[in-house]
């Protein structure tokens, strides 16, 4: 009886000790997670490294060689608000997520649409932009076509390798041939040259190209495909970074800054003289 009473006392005292230490352990875990956040790394190094890929008007090379566009504006404003410098890391589109995972940069800000498939590999912030995609077609090759006529083995699409339009084309027009390229300019050039009937891209690129080459290119259908939001992408397991970026995005939606910058790059041509 005495043994049992002593054992019970020991178990109770041990349990109380463990219970008392649980909050301290949890606090240590939280501090460890926070210390490993990419936000702390950015603050220590004094620079945020942003992965992006060039496509109009998200990110472009100006005549003087500088990066301009919606994404560079977002990246520079983010760095300014964090009190750090910014380093843009241009990266091929189909390798941009692997490069993030390999630590080549801290975050992707490059018009990356939020999809379930990508979300299995990276974490996404809330959307900081929204866009839809339209079909840009060669006038002569698609004269008299209905939407269903594009789903044919004799029809050729061009698209950017690894980008959402390529996946949407393959799903929506499975019988058509699909040519893949690494550069958006090459994608449009195939349609201009008559080597492809059509392509699909996020606005405003299709509308801009149709205005630039009205005799050759047009938007044949008043249809928006795949209206998704675009988010920052970051490595998994970093709740502090996700919290900061989400709050930054929410703040600049409320102030109207994100909308104003988006409207400037996507609904005007005021910047066109800065690029080729």
Tell me if residue 176 falls in helix, strand or coil: coil
Do residues 114 and 230 touch, judged by C-beta distance below 8 A?
yes
Kindly state whether residues 265 and 142 are assigned to the same domain.
Answer: no
* Structural domain boundaries enclosing 155: 135-227
* pLDDT in the model for residue 56: 84
Residue 222 forms part of a structural domain = yes
Task: Concatenate the DSSP letters of all residues of 115-136 into one string.
Answer: -HHHHTTSEE-S-SEEEEEEEE
Kindly state whether residues 123 and 247 are assigned to the same domain.
Answer: yes
How would residue 166 be classed by pLDDT, with cut points 50, 70 and 90? very high
Average pLDDT over residues 117-133: 93
* pLDDT in the model for residue 228: 78
The number of folded domains in the chain is: 2
Q: Rg for the chain (alpha carbons), in Å?
A: 25
Residue 187 forms part of a structural domain = yes
List, for residues 59-83, the tens digit of each pLDDT value.
Answer: 999 999 999 999 999 999 999 999 9
Kindly state whether residues 166 and 244 are assigned to the same domain.
Answer: no
Kindly state whether residues 140 and 97 are assigned to the same domain.
Answer: no
Q: Is 50 exceeded by the pLDDT of residue 253?
A: yes
Average pLDDT over residues 121-146: 95
Kindly state whether residues 174 and 215 are assigned to the same domain.
Answer: yes
User: Comparing 79-88, 207-216, 247-256, which segment has the lowest mean pLDDT?
Assistant: 207-216
List, for residues 19-61, the tens digit of each pLDDT value.
Answer: 556 555 444 445 455 568 999 999 999 999 999 999 888 999 9
Sequence-ordered list of residues with C-beta below 8 angstroms from that of 258, at least 6 positions apart, any chain: 74, 128, 129, 249, 252
Kindly report the average pLDDT of the chain as a whole number.
Answer: 89
Residue 24 forms part of a structural domain = no
More confident residue, 134 or 5: 134
Quick one: what percent of the chain has pLDDT higher than 90?
72
Kindly state whether residues 115 and 237 are assigned to the same domain.
Answer: yes
Residue 13 forms part of a structural domain = no
User: Comparing 118-122, 143-147, 225-229, 271-275, which segment has the lowest mean pLDDT?
Assistant: 225-229
- Count of other CB atoms within 10 angstroms of residue 201: 26
Residue 156 forms part of a structural domain = yes
Kindly state whether residues 192 and 76 are assigned to the same domain.
Answer: no
**Distances from the Cα of 220 to the Cαs of 160, 187, 195, 207, 264, in angstroms?**
20, 18, 18, 11, 26
pTM metric for this prediction = 0.69
Q: Give the domain CATH number at 117.
A: 3.40.190.10
> Is the bond into 57 cis (omega within 30 degrees of 0)?
yes
Residue 68 forms part of a structural domain = yes
* pLDDT in the model for residue 19: 59
List, for residues 107-118, the tens digit of each pLDDT value.
Answer: 999 999 899 999
Kindly state whether residues 92 and 153 are assigned to the same domain.
Answer: no
Kindly state whether residues 65 and 149 are assigned to the same domain.
Answer: no
User: Comparing 103-107, 161-165, 257-261, which segment has the lowest mean pLDDT?
Assistant: 161-165
């Amino acid at each position: 009886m005495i043994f049992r009473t002593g054992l019970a006392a020991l178990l109770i005292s041990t349990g109380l000790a463990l219970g008392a230490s649980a909050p301290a352990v949890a606090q240590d875990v939280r501090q460890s997670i926070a210390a490993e956040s990419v936000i702390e790394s950015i603050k220590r190094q004094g620079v945020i490294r942003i992965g992006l890929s060039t496509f109009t008007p998200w990110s472009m090379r100006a005549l003087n060689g500088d990066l301009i566009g919606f994404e560079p504006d977002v990246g520079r404003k983010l760095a300014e608000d964090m009190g750090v410098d910014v380093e843009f890391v241009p990266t091929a589109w189909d390798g941009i997520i692997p490069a993030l995972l390999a630590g080549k940069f801290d975050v992707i800000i490059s018009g990356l649409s939020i999809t379930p498939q990508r979300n299995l590999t990276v974490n996404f912030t809330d959307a900081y932009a929204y866009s839809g995609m339209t079909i840009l077609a060669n006038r002569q090759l698609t004269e008299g076509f209905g939407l269903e006529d594009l789903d044919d083995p004799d029809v050729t699409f061009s698209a950017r390798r690894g980008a959402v339009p390529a996946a949407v084309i393959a799903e929506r027009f499975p019988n058509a041939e699909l040519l893949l390229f690494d550069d958006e300019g090459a994608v449009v050039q195939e349609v201009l040259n008559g080597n492809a009937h059509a392509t699909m891209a996020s606005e405003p690129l299709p509308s801009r190209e149709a205005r630039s080459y009205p005799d050759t290119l047009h938007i044949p259908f008043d249809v928006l495909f795949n209206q998704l939001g675009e988010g920052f992408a970051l490595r998994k397991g970093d709740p502090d970074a996700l919290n900061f970026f989400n709050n930054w995005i929410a703040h600049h939606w409320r102030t109207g800054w994100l909308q104003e910058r988006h409207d400037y790059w996507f609904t005007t041509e005021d910047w066109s003289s800065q690029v080729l």
